[in-house]
Amino acid sequence: MQPFAAAELVEERVDTPAGEFLVRRPRDPASLISEESFGEDEYLPYWAERWPASERLCRTLPADLAGERVLELGCGLGVPSLCCARRGAEVLATDWSGDAIELLRANAAHNKVGLEARRVDWRYPTEVLARAPFDLVLAADVCYERRNVAPLAALLRALGAPVLLADPGRAPAGELVGELAADFTVDEAGPWVRRLSPRAAPARDERQQCASGTGPAR
Ligand SMILES: C[S@@+](CC[C@H](N)C(=O)[O-])C[C@H]1O[C@@H](n2cnc3c(N)ncnc32)[C@H](O)[C@@H]1O
């Protein structure tokens, strides 16, 4: 595996409804693949790609987010988080990849945008639950494997906040929405993007049950 720090970065102009960002990312994400990490937890460096769902999500963000507390799950390059921060939100961007978090911090500074980025595995969400409540939760293309459905459903239920879920139509994302149908109303916020609105605030013990330790380092 090529260490992230040694990977060649490219800088791209990313146009969003919140304006332009200069985003650096690895030129060749495949070079970051490690047999060791994959063998351990089927980890692949998906964080390093620009996914179209993230772009769609940016188009559905509220124009005024001043003072709103926003959480992004599986943020990867974190463009929606950058947009929200520029629009005045207090943003916590999370991913299980330490490399993604390190690069997002650098990209936020490079674009003079203030946000907090933390390594959090959504299967071990103690830290984000301790920081709840959030006004808005963002998730772009996070449900691409069936193994993601149960932990994400448990976490979103425990957070009990409105969610913008962007997805290109992957089957596990449909399963996630189905799992949450009893607790959230679902409507279309835009192409590829569903808005999930909680029917009621989560019970305190639901948050406690969902919180369970710290995830492995990536
Ligand atoms: C397909 S990428 C999407 C990235 C970004 N949201 C976007 O749309 O550009 C999926 C993201 O989920 C992250 N991820 C996968 N499993 C995770 C887990 N258990 N906890 C937190 N993040 C995870 C990956 O590192 C990656 O950044």
What pLDDT digit, counting tens, does each position of 27-86 carry?
Answer: 888 777 777 766 666 667 899 999 999 999 999 999 999 999 999 999 999 999 999 999
Q: Please report whether residue 215 resides in a domain.
A: no
Q: Provide the pLDDT for residue 38.
A: 64
Q: Please report whether residue 63 resides in a domain.
A: yes
Q: Provide the pLDDT for residue 44.
A: 72
- Residue 212 pLDDT > 80: no
Q: Provide the pLDDT for residue 105.
A: 98
Rounded to an integer, the average pLDDT of 7-34 is 91
Q: Which domain CATH number covers 37?
A: 3.40.50.150
Q: For residue 75, report the distance from its CA to the centre of ligand 1, in Å.
A: 6
Q: Please report whether residue 218 resides in a domain.
A: no
Here the tokens at position 164 are 């913008």
- Residue 3 pLDDT > 60: no
Integer angstrom CA distances of residue 104 from 37, 43, 101, 111? 21, 19, 5, 10
User: Is residue 101 within 6 Å of ligand 1 at its C-beta?
Assistant: no
User: Is residue 141 within 6 Å of ligand 1 at its C-beta?
Assistant: yes
Which residue is closest in CA terms to ligand 1's atom 9? 51
Q: For residue 184, report the distance from its CA to the centre of ligand 1, in Å.
A: 22
Q: For residue 197, report the distance from its CA to the centre of ligand 1, in Å.
A: 22
> Are the CB atoms for 196 and 184 separated by under 8 Å?
yes
Rounded to an integer, the average pLDDT of 5-22 is 92
Q: Provide the pLDDT for residue 34.
A: 74
User: Is residue 142 within 6 Å of ligand 1 at its C-beta?
Assistant: yes
Mutate to test the pocket of ligand 1, among 44, 46, 50 (most ligand atoms within 8 A of CB): 46
Q: What are phi and psi of 190, to 5 degrees?
A: 170, 180
- Cα-Cα-Cα-Cα torsion 50, 78, 44, 149, nearest 10 degrees, comes to -110
User: Is residue 218 within 6 Å of ligand 1 at its C-beta?
Assistant: no
Q: What is the mean pLDDT of the chain?
A: 91
Q: Please report whether residue 162 resides in a domain.
A: yes
Q: Please report whether residue 53 resides in a domain.
A: yes
- Cα-Cα-Cα-Cα torsion 8, 38, 94, 53, nearest 10 degrees, comes to 80
Domain that holds residue 127: 4-210
Q: For residue 206, report the distance from its CA to the centre of ligand 1, in Å.
A: 24
Give the number of the atom of ligand 1 that is nearest the alpha carbon of residue 123: 19
Q: Please report whether residue 217 resides in a domain.
A: no
In this structure, of 48-52, 64-68, 145-149, 209-213, the range with the lowest mean pLDDT score is 209-213
Q: Please report whether residue 21 resides in a domain.
A: yes
In this structure, of 140-149, 161-170, 199-208, the range with the lowest mean pLDDT score is 199-208
User: Is residue 122 within 6 Å of ligand 1 at its C-beta?
Assistant: yes
Q: Which residues face 95 on adjacent strands?
A: 119
User: Is residue 81 within 6 Å of ligand 1 at its C-beta?
Assistant: no
The pTM (predicted TM-score) of the whole model is 0.93
The dihedral built from the CA positions of residue 2, 100, 45 and 9, taken in this order, carries a sign that is negative
Q: Determine what percent of the chain falls in helix, strand and coil, rounding each to the nearest 5.
A: 40, 25, 35
Domain count, the chain: 1
Q: Please report whether residue 153 resides in a domain.
A: yes
Amino acid present at 175: E
